[in-house]
A and B are shown apart, each in its own frame.
Chain A
Amino acid sequence: MDAAQQRRHLSQIPGGQSFEQKLQRPLLAEDIQILQLNVGKACNLACKHCHVSAGPGRSEQMGREVFVTCLKILRRHAIGTIDVTGGAPEMNPHLPWFIAEAAKLKRRLMVRSNLAILHEEAFRHFIDLYADHQVEIITSLPHYHAQQTDRQRGSGVFAKVIDMMRVLNAKGYGRPGSNLLLHLVFNPVGAYLPGPQAALAHEYQQRLSQEHGVVFNQLFCLTNFPVGRYLEYLIRTENYEEYMSTLMAAFNWTAVQGVMCRTLLSVGWDGKLYDCDFNQMLELPVDHGAPSHIDIFEFDQLKSRQIVVANHCYACTAGAGSSCQGAIE
């Protein structure tokens, strides 16, 4: 499904009250504390829940000029966090250089890595690169059982991730007291919402340390967004209506205050600006008069911009809420 088809599908929701109607007033950004760079859609995996629809066949990659412009902006403005995502970010050939440059800025620097890629010989050098520059690593592990994780991410991925966690733990990642941080992301392997973060974190910690001898810092619980490959899955399995109803029934006003777009700005591989990575995949750029390309970046205009919302936003406000940092409450 292309972005326009996805948007059309998302405009049809059970009960009919759109996210915009539900909010009753415009959603406004309050700051830019995170600059998130989606550096490309190529990936060594092709997970079933992927909202990017990333995979080995995708060729979109952020070019050097866009990285350079991002660095200029970061130097000029006190944006506290640099958040690198993809695809598999490691597949972008400019990433090692960018990490080294970004690390000099002394901000919180994080990379969302699937870890399985670090298993491949050509990408192993990233392990030292990340550790040397104190890059915070965030990786998705949908379940502490191999069977469930592999069902979503592909055969053998669980074992590779656990293996790589061991290597990273040996470097100091995820160990108490170490400044090398390794976080895991739980997202449901199917058409249901994640459970309470604290309960799952406890289970993950116990199982992973007892059964596999690996440790991590925090577990973030994320709701799957009805975008990209996950939206296709919901439609194909006739789960779309029920899933949207569940999201809508779990709407929580408190979570609205904490949605990530209020403090985050997302940069696409081609330099276009979005309110978040999900809007990026739906090709809904920043609008309402704010600059929509990194070349015409204006901090003051963007930090209080009106967010572009649509019905997929219900995934951000369901239950305890779901930001890129897990549950909001």
Chain B
Amino acid sequence: MSQQYYEPKDLQDFPNITEYAPEPGKKFFEYYAQATQAGLLTEREKALIALAVATVRHCPYCIDAYTNKCLSLGVSSDEMMEAVHVGAAMTAGDVLAHATQVRKIIKKKEM
């Protein structure tokens, strides 16, 4: 099979998810549009947050979409990479914060 599970052109099909069970799909897109448009935060700030989340969540579609969006908004490669590092640091942090659970058990169980 030459096809891949993830292909760039799949992303173009995303708006069509409303073909089946349209109501929740439409509500999702409305919510998505509102959440990502400029509000108290600028579109640029939101695009950087989305990029960090996309990399943390390992979503190739979102990484593609938000790297392009950041480029379109004039975000520099260093700024994008800083956002990715925030995601990486948060991920490392939430792993390491769970070491406290490990420590709690160790402290309780070890003689």
Q: How far is the CB of A287 from chain B (nearest CB, A)?
A: 34
B69 partner, pick from A147, A195, A203, beta carbons under 8 A: A195
Determine if B38 is an interface residue (Cβ-Cβ < 8 Å).
yes
* Interface mask (A171-201 → B, CB under 8 Å = 1, otherwise 0): 0000000000000001010101111100110
Q: How far is the CB of A138 from chain B (nearest CB, A)?
A: 19
Q: Is there an interface contact between B43 and A199, defined as CB atoms closer than 8 Å?
A: yes
A195 partner, pick from B8, B12, B73, beta carbons under 8 A: B73
**Main DSSP-derived SS at the B contact region:** helix
Q: Is there an interface contact between B42 and A195, defined as CB atoms closer than 8 Å?
A: no
A282 to B12, CA, bound (A): 30
Q: Is there an interface contact between B44 and A199, defined as CB atoms closer than 8 Å?
A: yes
Determine if A278 is an interface residue (Cβ-Cβ < 8 Å).
no
Q: Is there an interface contact between A192 and B68, defined as CB atoms closer than 8 Å?
A: yes
Determine if B16 is an interface residue (Cβ-Cβ < 8 Å).
no
Q: Is there an interface contact between A143 and B42, defined as CB atoms closer than 8 Å?
A: no
Q: Is there an interface contact between B8 and A242, defined as CB atoms closer than 8 Å?
A: yes
Q: How far is the CB of B5 from chain A (nearest CB, A)?
A: 19
Please give the number of chain B residues whose Cβ is less than 8 angstroms from any Cβ of chain A in the complex.
14
A194 to B72, CA, bound (A): 5
Q: How far is the CB of A270 from chain B (nearest CB, A)?
A: 37
A194 to B71, CA, bound (A): 8
A196 to B70, CA, bound (A): 11
Given A199-B38, A242-B8, A249-B12, are A193 and B76 also a contact pair (CB < 8 Å)? no
Q: Is there an interface contact between B42 and A188, defined as CB atoms closer than 8 Å?
A: no
Interfacial chain B residues near A193, Cβ < 8 Å: 68, 72
Q: Is there an interface contact between B43 and A143, defined as CB atoms closer than 8 Å?
A: no
* Most A Cβ at <10 Å: residue of B12, B68, B72, B74: B74
Q: How far is the CB of A220 from chain B (nearest CB, A)?
A: 14
Q: Is there an interface contact between B73 and A203, defined as CB atoms closer than 8 Å?
A: yes
Q: Is there an interface contact between B72 and A188, defined as CB atoms closer than 8 Å?
A: yes
A128 to B8, CA, bound (A): 52
Q: How far is the CB of B43 from chain A (nearest CB, A)?
A: 5
Q: How far is the CB of B12 from chain A (nearest CB, A)?
A: 6
A192 to B76, CA, bound (A): 14
Interfacial chain A residues near B12, Cβ < 8 Å: 249
Q: How far is the CB of A289 from chain B (nearest CB, A)?
A: 39
A249 to B9, CA, bound (A): 10
Q: Is there an interface contact between B8 and A196, defined as CB atoms closer than 8 Å?
A: no
Given A195-B43, A242-B8, A245-B9, are A203 and B71 also a contact pair (CB < 8 Å)? no
Interfacial chain A residues near B76, Cβ < 8 Å: 143, 145, 147-148
Interfacial chain B residues near A144, Cβ < 8 Å: 74
Interfacial chain B residues near A196, Cβ < 8 Å: 43, 73
Q: How far is the CB of A223 from chain B (nearest CB, A)?
A: 10
Nearest B residue (CB) for A245: B9
Q: What are 24 A-B pairs with beta-carbon distances under 8 A?
A: A144-B74, A145-B76, A147-B76, A148-B76, A186-B74, A190-B71, A192-B71, A192-B72, A193-B72, A195-B43, A195-B72, A195-B73, A195-B74, A196-B43, A196-B73, A199-B42, A199-B44, A200-B73, A203-B73, A203-B74, A204-B74, A242-B8, A245-B9, A249-B12
**Interface residues of A, Cβ cutoff 8 Å to B:** 143-145, 147-148, 186, 188, 190, 192-196, 199-200, 202-204, 242, 245, 249
Report, nearest first, the 3 A-B pairs whose CB atoms are least far apart.
A195-B72, A195-B73, A199-B43
